[in-house]
Every structure is written in C-alpha cells, then in structure tokens.
Structure 1
C-alpha cells in the first residue's frame, strides 16, 4: 500500500502561503506606481516637518492638521486608484456641471477672506472649490479631446468653449492664480493631443499682447515690441491657419484689440493684484507693504546657505517675519532651515514625480487616461514653477500653493483626487506597453 504524501509535499511552505494571502488583499493596487507614491509621501513629510518648524514658536498646530489631512489624502488616492478611471468618460458633463455649480455657490454663499471670496463653509471647514475645479477641468478636457482630437480647429474650439465658464467664475472671485493654472492645463493637454504648435501660440497670443503693451519700458520700447508681436502673430496665422489671408488679418486685429483690452482689464484688477504684478520687479519700492513678503522671503532663502540654519533655528521663520509662511511661502522656510541641499531635494522629488507621470501617460491604455495624466503633469509643474519663482522673486505673488508642501486642506485633497486618477491610469494600463516613442 503506497504511503500518503507528506504535509510538506501537499501544500506550499508557511511563508509562501502567508504571502499568497496578503497578495490577494493587495491585488487591487498591484500595478500602481509605488515609486510615484513614495515621492509624494516624501514631500508630504517634508511639508509636515517644515510647518511644524513654522509653528514652533507660535503655539499653533497647523502641522498636525496637515499631517491628518495628508493621511486622509493618501487613503483617498488609494481608494480612487482601484476604481476604473475610464468610467468618467460617460460622466464628464456631470463632472463639468458639478464643478461650475460649486463655483457659482462660492459667489452666492462664499466666505470672504484676504480680500477674496473663494471658500464655502461646510461642517465647520472652509472648502475652496477652485482647487477641485482644476481636477474637473482636467477630466472635462480629457473627455473632449478623446472624442475629437485637437488636430483640427473645431476640436480646439470645443475645449476653449468649455473652459470659458469655469475660468470666468474663477476670475470673478477674484482668483487670477487659479485661472492661470487653467490656462497651463489646457495648453499642456492640447499639445499632448497633437494640436498644432502655431495654433497654441495664437490661442494665448492675445494675453501676451496685453502684457507686452502694459510693460513700462523706456523709449517706447514696449510699444515697438507690441507692434512686432502683432505683425509676428499675423504672419504665423497666415502660415499655419487654413484661412490664409483672412486668418492673418483676424489674428492681427485680435492682438491689436487685446492690447487696448489689456488696459481695461488692468483697471478691473484689485489694488492688491496690481501690487503683486508690479512690485515683484521692484519690491524695494514698498518694503513695508506689497513688497514685504518678497523681500523677507528672499532674505530667508539666502540666509540658509548650503546646509541651512537647522530645524527650528531659522531667524526669519522662527521670528515670524513672513506672514502665512506655512501656505504660499513654505519654500522659504525650507530654504532657510535646510539650505540649498534641502531645496535641491525638493526640486529632485518634483522632477521625479513629473517624470513618473509622463511615463504613466506614455503607457496608458487609451488616450483618455493619457490626457488625464498629462493634465496633472501640467497642473503640478506650473504650480511648482510659479510658487518657487515668487518665493525667490522671479514671478509675482499669485497665491498658488506648492503641491503637497503648502498647508491647505482643499489643495491637498484636490491633489489626492488627481493623483488617484493618475494611479488608476497606471493600475489599469497594459503591461510592458509603450504607446509613444
């Protein structure tokens, strides 16, 4: 009579069975980009430590609030990552409608703070719908471009038409910084959707025309630059638009009109917005007023040197020379207390995050997922460039937060939703596929 098989031969070892049990639970997230998650978690931890240092001598607990919100944000990201992103295609108009309704609610029931009406109070918390509108715009544009590519003027017109309403509601708050983020997202997604580069330049040319004419340059140089720009746009339109001479004349007239319109729009800006735009060129003009933040921020970053003054030892940070440093100007605290090494680490993490998002966009299962990833890429990189630029005096103060580092519940949660959608694209992409060279 043959002997019965031994226990070791009938089933795998204990550690193998334990791993198999865990893998069944972990399987819904097995294809997400864990390197991307690691980089984001690293930025969140740096943000918590930096905000803790800012709160150190103030008796505040913003760092704990940031830490708890970060935990909720990570759970939200993982929850969205296991849900198929492509179901949003059938619901994108509902997403678009909800986005605009939330922005309308701000104008009707919003809470005013710091000279702007941008928040809605829900359950004792101030929620900023404009942050979540960024994600809504990304989903809407991705769905539109997935149905009709941007290699024709009608496809671009559909995208621009959908952008007008939310952007107008954002500007009415007023929130110029978020409106500029919308423009960056749109340009990035149109480029990825194979829109003609000349068409994209023509689309943003009226804004550039208004800015050039508004520059205060000697010897009427701004006027000559503006006229050269108008002529250049007319030539570009003649070359790349299918309308020939009609398109050239139309582009020239539009840029001519935009120059005068820029003066009208300038007068519609609030005083603090005008100060932010002009004082970054010469903050010493009003060192105790509009230029105060910029001057103190540059001092803080420069004082950090190579290795920084050390945690809780930055004079500008600990003595509170920079108001609301835990929000828009958190990079100055990192620069002062962690020095060039700390700021370089932050920049490397942002570079790595953008690199991983590009790789996810390249390997997405469809154009809709690829465009969602590129929309987040454009949103993140624009906010990083503008925020760090204003911290070191290279761009005006716009109120744009630094992703995952700046304190702000709405910003963290909006980034969590966007990251969750990108991770969903990664999670449901085909293995070993590279759709783009």
Structure 2
C-alpha cells in the first residue's frame, strides 16, 4: 500500500538548508577576501550572489527530470561536454585565452569566463551511471569476463574527457574525474579480484614516481625527458619555505594566514596576511585567519553533513542508476574538499581546485548546483511505501 505525500514533503529541505548555509559562508568569506584591495573595484560577492541565483534556476529545471529521463539524456550531455572541451582547445585565443598557462575557459562578453570541464564532470557522472546500469541489465550472470568488460567500458568513457582536459592542461580537474571513476567503480559490483590488482598497481606506481622525483630525479630526466622545473610543485610542497619567494609563495602565505587565526580567529574583515587568489582557490585561508580553528571546523563539519546526506539519499533509493549518480557526486565533492583544504595546510600539493559552494567561480558553482539538482531530483521523484522500500515515480 502506497503512502502518498505532498510535493512539499518530497522536496529536499535538508539539502536546501545546507546550501543556504554554504551561500552565507561564501558571501561572508568572499567579502573579506576582496577587502584586501588587490581586486580594484570588482565586487566578487555580488557576482557570487548572481551565480547562486543562476544555480538555483539550474536546480529548479533539473528537479523535473526523473531517472528515466536522465538516463536518456546521459549520452547527449556527455557528447555535448566533449564538444565543449574540443571547442575550447581549438578556439582562437580571442575566445579561449591562456590563463596561468592553461587554455580552459571561454570568455563571453557581459558574462565572464565559462569553464566547460566543470560541467563535464557532472555529465560524466551521468554517462558512467548509464554505462553500469545498461551493462548489468545486459549481463545478469556476472563473471570476471563481464566485470572486465564493464571496467573497460568505464575506463574508455572516462579516458576521452580526461585526455581532452590534459591537453589544456588541467591536472586538478583530471584528478577530480579520476576520483569520480574510482568511487563509481567501488560500488559498481565489479569483482575485487579485478579492482585490488589494478588499484594496487596504480598506487604502487604513483608512490614509485614520487620516490623518483624526491630521491632520483635524474632518472626521470634521462628516460622520460621530464624537465627539472616540472618537479618544483612536489619540492615546494615538501619544503615550502625554501621556495617561499617562488613556487611556494601561495602555500607559505596560506600557512601564515591560517596559523595566525589560532582558535577563534581575528574577526570579520580583519585579515592581515596577504594571500593571492584568496577569493577563489585559497578561500579557506581567509576562513582560517578570520574565524580560526573553530570557524574552519564548522565549515568542514558542514561538508561532512552534506556528504552524509548524499550517502543517505543514495541508500534510500532503490534505483541503481540513482545510486551510481549519488556515488559520483559524493566522490567529486569529497575529493574537492579534501584536496582544497589539504593544499592550504600543506597536507597535499597545490592544484587549482576550488572549495565547493564557497570559492568564487561561476562555472564551478553552476556545475556543483547542477549536481545538487540531480540529488533534488532523486529525492523528489520517489514516494514512500508503507510496507516496502522507496519506489521511483518513474518506474
């Protein structure tokens, strides 16, 4: 027997509260960051409010698409994303200029910069979810052969956008996509007899390369033709104060800002340490300096609550496609938070990865809000059943 509920009861109010809190934190932090005077007359806080409004519109549109419709759109959006990545690569510099050594953005008059890879991440989540559900529908009886086939499909689907993104080049976004792939593979039902050797080999290879970078860089220079300057990101991460005037400048300033905030911080707009790009990738440095350990802990706790809510949503649905979509979003958000916060406190090397929902950036925020729109859709298009698990409205 079905227990019907009002539309308002099916709306995800918990997620709405969390996003509203992130909105407030973002506006406060960006307002403080832009007070340093390095940005002239540009008001990034007002622009962030505008991007949040656009994000809310994206959520409103996305919520009306159920899982069946999203499955049908998955490959269309994936293909559209690939076309955008190709376009930004071949476009003239007047349209897609190089910024910080990367050609990753379209410059649109009266709108600003749009980074296609931020949307491709979410398009890829839909495509990978479609690949897994279609594979399982085709192969009811599982074997190592069918699992390897699925693994190959997922790898190829991911390799195409990763390759295009590395041409820009944008290592940070490529790492996010690989984290999405990893998370989805772990819940895809592929046998651990395949997963453990592959990921074990990958982890060992990565560790060995880092070892060579630190201990025997001359081998990489000789056999892989890697240039010495390309090691600087690792060196500056491990020993930032030696490279404080160069490649470690951002990290040293970030450590000084967060460390000076102590337990409770210096207060709103009382930042004293100049941190470049503090309104974007290093927004957590502003939070740490002005609100200290307490403020930073609150922000991280909110992200834990968000991830917990996404996990709960994934477990509540009995639609496998929705579960994979939630898993991909969880992997994406988790990696973003871990990497962004980690790089500001020297736990991880610096990459150009923003803090979700808080760092300034229209493309990043719209991409994340689209992902949240998918979660809203999953939550909305389900009804509660008295004597059974939740059922999809699209079933």
TM-score, normalization: structure 1?
0.78
Shift of 1:434: 5.1
Asked if residue 389 in structure 1 is aligned to residue 307 in structure 2, the reply is no
Asked if residue 53 in structure 1 is aligned to residue 32 in structure 2, the reply is yes
Contact 2:212 2:220 in 1 (8 A): no
| CA-to-aligned-CA distance 1:285-320 (integer Å, 9 cap, x gap) | 21111011111101111111111100011211xxxx
For structure 1, the residue ranges without an aligned partner over 5 or more in a row are 1-25, 223-258
Asked if residue 142 in structure 1 is aligned to residue 137 in structure 2, the reply is no
| CA-to-aligned-CA distance 1:141-199 (integer Å, 9 cap, x gap) | 00001111496111111111111111100111101111111111011111112223343
CA distance in 2, matches of 1:176, 1:309: 34
Asked if residue 328 in structure 1 is aligned to residue 281 in structure 2, the reply is yes
Question: Which residue of 1 is the match for residue 195 of structure 2?
Answer: 200
Shift of the 366–300 alpha-carbon distance from structure 1 to 2, 3 Å rule, reads same
Match of 2:251 among 294, 315, 320: 294
Match of 1:187 among 163, 182, 191: 182
Asked if residue 92 in structure 1 is aligned to residue 74 in structure 2, the reply is yes
Contact 1:364 1:430 in 2 (8 A): no
- Which segment drifts farther, 356-365 or 145-154? 145-154
Shift of 1:322: 1.1
Contact 2:318 2:389 in 1 (8 A): no
Question: Which residue of 1 is the match for residue 105 of structure 2?
Answer: 119
Q: 1:233-244 residue pairs with structure 2 within 5 A?
A: none
Q: 1:74-89 residue pairs with structure 2 within 5 A?
A: 74-89=56-71
Shift of 1:262: 12
Supply the RMSD in Å over aligned alpha carbons: 2.7
| CA-to-aligned-CA distance 1:338-381 (integer Å, 9 cap, x gap) | 11111111111100100110111111241111111111000000
Contact 1:96 1:140 in 2 (8 A): yes
Asked if residue 215 in structure 1 is aligned to residue 215 in structure 2, the reply is no
CA distance in 1, matches of 2:338, 2:202: 19
Contact 2:10 2:383 in 1 (8 A): no
Contact 1:284 1:295 in 2 (8 A): yes
Asked if residue 375 in structure 1 is aligned to residue 334 in structure 2, the reply is no
Shift of the 148–431 alpha-carbon distance from structure 1 to 2, 3 Å rule, reads same
CA distance in 1, matches of 2:223, 2:25: 42
Secondary structure of the structure 1 residue equivalent to 2:103? strand
Question: Which residue of 1 is the match for residue 290 of structure 2?
Answer: 337
Asked if residue 38 in structure 1 is aligned to residue 33 in structure 2, the reply is no
Asked if residue 405 in structure 1 is aligned to residue 362 in structure 2, the reply is no
Shift of 1:218: 12
Q: 1:271-290 residue pairs with structure 2 within 5 A?
A: 271=229, 274-290=231-247
Shift of the 197–296 alpha-carbon distance from structure 1 to 2, 3 Å rule, reads farther
CA distance in 1, matches of 2:70, 2:250: 41
Question: Which residue of 2 is the match for residue 129 of structure 1?
Answer: 116
CA distance in 1, matches of 2:215, 2:264: 45
Question: Which residue of 2 is the match for residue 7 of structure 1?
Answer: none
Larger radius of gyration: 1
CA distance in 2, matches of 1:164, 1:401: 23
**How many pairs were matched up?**
367
CA distance in 1, matches of 2:355, 2:272: 22
Contact 2:66 2:381 in 1 (8 A): yes
CA distance in 1, matches of 2:64, 2:154: 29
Contact 2:126 2:325 in 1 (8 A): yes
Shift of 1:221: 10
Question: Which residue of 2 is the match for residue 256 of structure 1?
Answer: none
Contact 1:210 1:263 in 2 (8 A): no
Shift of 1:126: 1.2
Shift of 1:278: 2.7
For structure 2, the residue ranges without an aligned partner over 5 or more in a row are 391-395
Higher-RCO chain (CA-CA 8 Å, sequence separation at least 6): 2
